[in-house]
């Protein structure tokens, strides 16, 4: 056998062992090799041919010019969440993601702009049925300009693949788009300034399920006062969209014992996608 072929086989076996170990940590006891699952997404080509959506503006106002910081009054307590959940089902937006990102621009609306390298916008399949939302970019994300590309992002990719879905079939974003100093949690004010853009993106994408990862994402998307430990594993609702709260991959790196619980949450998401046909236009 040629040496090159032997080396390739060794690499394949090593990767298979690592993947099997990860699946074992998640509590997966068997894998169906005969019927791989897909997320039933639409390819970029067919998406380009799809008819334009019915005009309907999203109920989220654009913020001020990216170059003109405006003081934002910070509401206290549950008042921060009233606007997100006091309205009916989220209407399909006629905006494009590019228009939203252009509105964000080289954002200077809060002090996080002072230490970041670049704004990190949502990334992935724009017609995805499944969306993942985290807290804020870390150092690797700040350097590369994409969400979840560091160690936590690599773990998230494995979690998605364990569901039988490819990462490029989903879409991933954060509540905040700029890296907080030292990867600290965004403040209430910082989240309140940034999250309207996430709501606008959701109105464009119209995912069927959003997986919110960690307390910051949970509390900024839903009117929930409890922490992720008490809410995880139960489907919630965000303006007609199903939401599954679960642990953040960065937390799983610190406490691998929570991987099994996270896998139980993701299995519920996977089973819903498997047992429900895509909505019309998805």
Give a yes or no: residue 282 inside a domain.
no
Give a yes or no: residue 202 inside a domain.
yes
Give a yes or no: residue 185 inside a domain.
yes
The answer on 251 and 149 residing in a single domain is yes
The answer on 192 and 89 residing in a single domain is yes
Give a yes or no: residue 179 inside a domain.
yes
Find tokens 């910051």 and name the residue. 216
The answer on 52 and 191 residing in a single domain is yes
- Name the pTM for this structure: 0.74
The answer on 123 and 2 residing in a single domain is no
The answer on 135 and 79 residing in a single domain is yes
The answer on 17 and 99 residing in a single domain is no
Three-state DSSP class for residue 56: coil
Question: What local confidence, expressed as pLDDT, does residue 44 receive?
Answer: 41
Is a pLDDT exceeding 50 seen at residue 2? yes
Question: What local confidence, expressed as pLDDT, does residue 144 receive?
Answer: 98
The answer on 7 and 65 residing in a single domain is no
The answer on 15 and 149 residing in a single domain is no
pLDDT level of residue 17 (50, 70, 90 thresholds): low
**Tokens found for residue 168:** 């490029």
Three-state DSSP class for residue 237: strand
Give a yes or no: residue 143 inside a domain.
yes
Give a yes or no: residue 58 inside a domain.
yes
Question: What local confidence, expressed as pLDDT, does residue 41 receive?
Answer: 45
Give a yes or no: residue 280 inside a domain.
no
| Enclosing domain of residue 24 | 1-31
Closest by CA to 148, choosing from 169, 127, 177, is 177
Report the domain count for the chain.
2
Is a pLDDT exceeding 50 seen at residue 58? no
The answer on 102 and 179 residing in a single domain is yes
Question: What local confidence, expressed as pLDDT, does residue 89 receive?
Answer: 85
Question: What local confidence, expressed as pLDDT, does residue 18 receive?
Answer: 59
The answer on 86 and 109 residing in a single domain is yes
Encode pLDDT of 120-159 as tens digits. 999 999 999 999 999 999 999 999 999 999 999 999 999 9
CATH number of the CATH domain containing 206 = 3.40.470.10
Encode pLDDT of 230-264 as tens digits. 999 999 999 999 999 999 999 999 999 999 999 99
Q: What is the DSSP string of 8-74?
A: HHHHHHHHHHHHHHHHHHHT-----SSS-----PPPHHHHHHSPPPPP---S----S-TTS----PP
Three-state DSSP class for residue 213: strand
The answer on 45 and 12 residing in a single domain is no
The answer on 265 and 233 residing in a single domain is yes
Give a yes or no: residue 128 inside a domain.
yes
């Amino acid at each position: 056998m040629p040496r090159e072929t032997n080396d390739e086989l060794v690499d394949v076996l090593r990767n298979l062992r690592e993947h099997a170990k990860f699946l074992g940590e998640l509590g997966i006891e068997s894998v169906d090799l005969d019927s791989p699952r897909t997320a039933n997404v639409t390819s970029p080509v067919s998406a380009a041919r799809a008819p334009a959506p019915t005009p309907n503006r999203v109920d989220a106002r654009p913020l001020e010019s990216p170059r003109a910081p405006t003081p934002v009054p910070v509401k206290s307590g549950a008042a921060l969440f009233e606007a997100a959940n006091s309205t009916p089902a989220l209407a399909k937006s006629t905006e494009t993601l590019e228009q939203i990102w252009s509105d964000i621009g080289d954002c200077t609306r809060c002090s996080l702009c002072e230490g970041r390298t670049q704004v990190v916008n949502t990334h992935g399949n724009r017609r995805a049925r499944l969306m993942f939302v985290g807290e804020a970019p870390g150092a690797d994300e700040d350097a590369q300009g994409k969400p979840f590309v560091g160690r936590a992002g690599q773990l998230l990719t494995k979690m998605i693949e364990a569901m039988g879905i490819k990462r490029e079939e989903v879409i991933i974003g954060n509540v905040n788009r700029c890296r907080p100093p030292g990867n600290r949690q965004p403040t209430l004010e910082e989240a309140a300034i940034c999250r309207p853009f996430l709501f606008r993106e959701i109105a464009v994408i119209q995912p069927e399920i959003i997986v919110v990862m960690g307390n910051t994402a949970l509390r900024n998307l839903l009117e929930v006062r409890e922490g992720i430990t008490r809410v995880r594993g139960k489907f919630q609702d965000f303006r007609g969209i199903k939401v599954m709260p679960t642990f953040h991959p960065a937390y799983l790196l610190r406490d691998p014992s929570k991987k099994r619980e996270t896998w139980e949450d993701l299995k519920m998401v996977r089973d819903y996608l498997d047992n429900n046909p895509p909505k019309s236009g998805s």
